[in-house]
Amino acid sequence: MQQLAILRPLETSLRELAQQPNANVTLGPVRSDFRARVARSAFLLDFGLTSRIQLTGRLPYEHTISEIVFDANPRGYASHAANVGPNPALVVTSTAVAQNRKVVDSLLQAANELSGRLEACTTNAGDPVCTDRARVEALVQDARAFARGLAETYGVGADTARGSLFVPTVGSTLQSAIASRVASINASFKTFIPALSVWDTPFPAQVPVTAEQTQELLGDQLSIAPIAVVERSHIGDVEIGAKLLVIDTYGSLRQARASSGGGLRLAVGGLLRLGTAQVDRPDDLADIGTGDGQTDIEVSGIADVVLTRRFWASAVARYGRQLEDEKILRIPDVPRNPFIAAFREQEVGRDLGDYVELEATPRFVYNDYLSISAQWTYRRKAEDTYTGTFTVEDPDGESVTLDARVLGVGTEQTEQRVGGGLSFSTLRAFDRGRARLPIEVHFLHTQVLSGSGYVPKRFASQLQVRYYTRVFGAPLR
């Protein structure tokens, strides 16, 4: 929880109160398990304009379900992992408020008494405070500043000093340091006020935050949507494109399917991917969009190589140029911080990194109907680029400069996927008149083997059904 910017003013004040300039505050560890399921249906149309030119189209529809299981300070972590917790003075707890007020009043009363005695030095020069004036003045100034900091941080019940949302937890290093400083200032005052009683310490947080309290904090302070199950359905990014057959040593589809020797087919293609998808909401940590919502241009090369009647392979190389657009996002002050306040939401320039994909698919043809395949895919995406500089005011009225470039830090990715599939095809049997319909049914399962740049561990299962027909001219057979 050290990523919460709302804790930084508290951290500054506690460093001063505890006189520990390098101390950090934390609400403790957070454990979050994120699971997402994406069901993607797509209608694909391949239209042979000529024997060498093919037009393609793809209309995807996606249904996404995502869930974050969120727990703050879970079991198994050390109880002292959190050094600040909910401030008891903000709850209906008269003990905490009364104890804090008593400490602050004791400091101010002692400071006022010595200040009064300093003013009386002209008539009472024998007072010990008059012979050590510089030390007493420094003590009075220190005590008043310390009292003011305690009142603002811990709270004394007044409207102007209700206290922070969080204070040091009982037994924490920060609370012990503040208690030691109270005792030290008390001992310094006793040098000049011997009858001074020993003071108490400000009331600490008794327990760390819970998951429910953290969710309330994120909602109230940052305007982040409740962390829960998010479900949505919408079309994805629509694709339109074309392929050109460059080399074909077969001469016809029928010859290719019946070939028992070597052969080669090489094609090049291009497509335009339209930004028709819904993108994820900037205020929801669990939301998953149905696509990038950005226009892309992709070029590809596809090669089919027949080795024998039973063995053949496909290889595909793709390069994608992702075009610039604009998107409403929340801009953090440090990279990859998910806990971002609403005042940081701006429309920024976005240019997702271009990508390269290499894919190899060897196949074994068992008979006229069945074949099995393996697949290896390598993908590399360049770092994203975001542009825009904004000057806004935070909830306290302070001016804050936002630089959208931080959104692109660490977004370069590499990924390797492996998988296998099973295909059922009636095409060869249809050519021979043994099947009524020319169809292919292909099942493919893949999973991420390795990656970098926060690539998720992803599993995908795909079922594809393809039907061949001829719109114009003689029947396909």
Encode 14-57 in three state secondary structure.
Answer: HHHHHCCCCCCCCCCCEEEEEEEEEEEEEEEEEEECCCCEEEEE
Domains of the chain: which residue ranges?
5-78+215-467, 84-207
- Predicted confidence at residue 256, as pLDDT, reads 55
Residues with Cβ within 8 Å of residue 399, at least 6 apart in sequence: 391, 392, 393
b/e per residue, 123-161, with b = 16+ CB within 10 A? Answer: eeeebebeeeeeebeebbebbeebbebbbbbbbbeeeeb
pLDDT band at 7 (very low <50, low <70, confident <90, very high): confident
Cβ atoms < 10 Å from Cβ of 61:
14
In whole angstroms, give the CA distance from residue 225 to residue 244: 48
Instruction: Please tell me whether residue 431 adopts helix, strand or coil conformation.
Output: helix
Residue 347 is encoded by which pair of tokens? Answer: 């429309």
For the segment 397-419, what is each residue's pLDDT rounded down to a tens digit?
Answer: 889 999 999 999 999 999 999 99
Q: Note whether 341 and 394 are within 8 A (CB).
A: yes
* Torsion, CA 44, CA 48, CA 53, CA 54, rounded to 10: 0
- pLDDT class of 1 with cuts at 50, 70, 90: very low
pLDDT at 477: 61
* CA neighbor of 100 nearest in space, from 206, 200, 187, 190: 200
Give the model confidence (pLDDT) of 103-141 as tens digits: 999 999 999 999 988 888 877 777 788 888 889 999 999
